[in-house]
Structure formats: structure tokens, C-alpha cells
Amino acid sequence: MPATTNRFWSARPRSLLMLATIAATVGCRGPGGELESSRYARVQGDPEDTIHSIARRIATVGGFYGPEAARYDADQDAWFVSNMLGPGSAHDGKGYIVRLEGSSVGTASMWAFSGRNGVYLDAPKGIAFQGDTLWTADIDVVRGFNKRTGAPVGMIDFRPYGAVLLNDLAVGPDGTMYVTDSGIEMTDIGVLYPGGDKIFVVAPGRKISVLTSGPQLKRPNGVAWDPASKQWAVVGFDPFDSPLYVLGHGDEKPRVLAHGKGRFDGLQSLGDGRFLVSGWSDSALMVIGNGHDVRIVRDLTSPAAIGIDRKRHIVAIPEAIMGRVSFWELPEGYRGGDGPPAQQVAKR
């Protein structure tokens, strides 16, 4: 099932042709109508570290334009993928979000398309769900949509707080939302760093406050609530020293759990003290925590904001520059404490 590789700033005309491209790319079906993935064999290797991937690839979906975040909504058994379609700091009104069915990721639909049905998106990145609302970080605002219909329901404006590049967001068990500002600019000449690293808190009622700011945050990117420690975890996008750190209730100073080679991006908690982390410099998806640092998926190109289907133990990894999202089954021992035994998303 080949993937299409498209530059995320491609000038190809925006139309439903994009959706047709996605559908054509993932249209491989098994005899029962399931997504066919038998060509992806399990690669065995050293369980602690290996030059191979020890997770198993289920499917690769291509034809996207700058996919930045892939997040799973268990209520609808569906994935949502945000697409920048241009430089990630451009206020160009070109962004869109695609929905993929959880049981068959080859079934795609254009869910929210800037310029249609009242939707406006510049370069959407992180996605989080809060009740019936899908929130997405869009440069210097967070935009909300009805997660079932795609209709716009509101906007939270961070411009008065000096937002540079809102990158990821997550909602905690009490409804509080954390939003990271990486302090970078994503341009057609590369990633620039004007500064402005911040972590915002959005309380119920959409009240914004700055939890902490400054270069010690190391260009905060992925953020997640960790139920094991009951703290917020963040990874830094610093090009040379990318930390994984936690912020307890009321904490302003990060407590670093681990350091990486550079440019940590996506983050999800496994719920048992370990975290899934995607890293550009490592070109990998890693499991970090409890004294371990294991690369379970290798040879990734700038892996961005990851998501998890905890029921099936499937992780989705967007690669913006390659224009694709790959889906991997987490190997036993790296699934955390959530969910029943793995179920099938595609024919083995």
C-alpha cells in the first residue's frame, strides 16, 4: 500500500482532489473488505534497542499535505488528522482536518476544510477533545469544532498573551486544558527561533493564564496528562537537548525525567510511568520512563504529534514532510496498563 510523498508547502490546487488522493492511496482491501496489511511483517530484534522497528506496522496512509497531529476519539472510533498545507506559521487560511475510521483507516472524509461551511484554519497542529468539542492549536489561537459535525463552535485567542507558535494541547481529567507555545516560527526557509517559550493553562470558562515561560522550557512541544503521577508532562523541541519533564500542581520549574538528542515532538502517556515520545533527531518513536529508553519504531522522517487508539493498542505517527501517517501496533510490554487485549484494525 504505497504512500504518496508530498512537500507540505505544495502549491497544488486545494480542492476535493486532496481527499481523492487520500482515498486512492489507501484503497487496498482484503477479501473481507478490511484494510490489507499482510505485506507488513513483524520485525524481530533486541527488545531493549534495535536498528529495526519492534512495533508492527498496520497501515500507511498517504496523500496528506503537512499532517501535523493524529488523534483518536474513542466515542466515535475515529482518527482526526490536522494538516497545515503550507508553512506552519503562515496565516494563509489553507488548513484542513481529515477524519479516518478507526476500524478501517482507508475510509477517509474531509471533515473540516478552511473556507467552507464557516471553517477557518491557517496551519492546525495539536488536537484535543473536550466533551463534544475538538480543539486544535492554530498558530496563535485555539479553534473549536463540534467533533461530530465539524461545525465551528468557538475560538480562544492567545494573541494578547504574545503567542508565537501554539503547538500542542491536551485536556486533563478536570477539564483544564494545557497548551504549549514552542516559541518558534515554521517558515518556507526552515524553523526559526525568535523565542517566547510558554505553557498556557485554559481553565473552564476559557480563562487563559500563563503557567510558566522562559528558555528553561526548551521550546515546549508535546503535552500530556499523566495519570500515573497525576502531573502534566511536556517534551521540548530544542535542537540539541530535548527534555521530557513534568510539572506538578502549581509548579513553574520543570522536573526533568529524561534527555534526548534533540527535537522531541509528540507525547502520549502510557499510564504506567512510561511515555511514548516521537523525536526528529532520533528519527524514532520511543518509550521513555521507569529507567528505560527504547526505540520501538525506526526510520521516521520528522515524526510529529502522535495519537493512541488504546483499545487496539495502535499508535498513529504523522510525518509532515512525507505527507503520510503510519499506524503501528504497540508490542506487548510497551502498551501500558490501559485497555483489553489488542483487536484487529486490519487483516494480518
Q: How far is Cα 37 from Cα 344, in angstroms, rounded to an integer?
A: 11
User: Residue 21 has what pLDDT?
Assistant: 52
In this structure, is residue 220 part of a structural domain? Answer: yes
In this structure, is residue 4 part of a structural domain? Answer: no
User: Residue 22 has what pLDDT?
Assistant: 56
CATH of residue 107's domain is 2.120.10.30
Strand ranges of the sheet holding 141-146, from the earlier edge strand across to the other edge: 127-130, 133-138, 141-146, 152-157
In this structure, is residue 274 part of a structural domain? Answer: yes
In this structure, is residue 155 part of a structural domain? Answer: yes
In this structure, is residue 9 part of a structural domain? Answer: no
Q: Which of 212, 229, 343 is nearest to 275 (CA)?
A: 229
Q: What does the pLDDT look like over 16-26, one tens digit per residue?
A: 445 545 543 44
In this structure, is residue 12 part of a structural domain? Answer: no
Q: What does the pLDDT look like over 304-315, one tens digit per residue?
A: 999 999 999 999
Burial 86-105, CB ≥16 within 10 A → b, else e: bbbbbeeebbbbbbbbbbbb
Place of cell 526533568: 256
Total structural domains in the chain?
1
Domain extent, residue 306, equals 17-329
Q: How far is Cα 81 from Cα 314, in angstroms, rounded to an integer?
A: 15
Which residue ranges in the chain fall short of pLDDT 70?
A: 1-51, 249-252, 337-348
User: Residue 29 has what pLDDT?
Assistant: 32
Region of residue 297 (phi > 0: left; psi between -120 and 50: alpha; otherwise: beta): beta
Helix, strand or coil for residue 103?
Answer: coil
In this structure, is residue 167 part of a structural domain? Answer: yes
User: Residue 32 has what pLDDT?
Assistant: 31
In this structure, is residue 344 part of a structural domain? Answer: no
User: Residue 24 has what pLDDT?
Assistant: 39
Strand ranges of the sheet holding 198-203, from the earlier edge strand across to the other edge: 166-171, 177-181, 198-203, 207-213
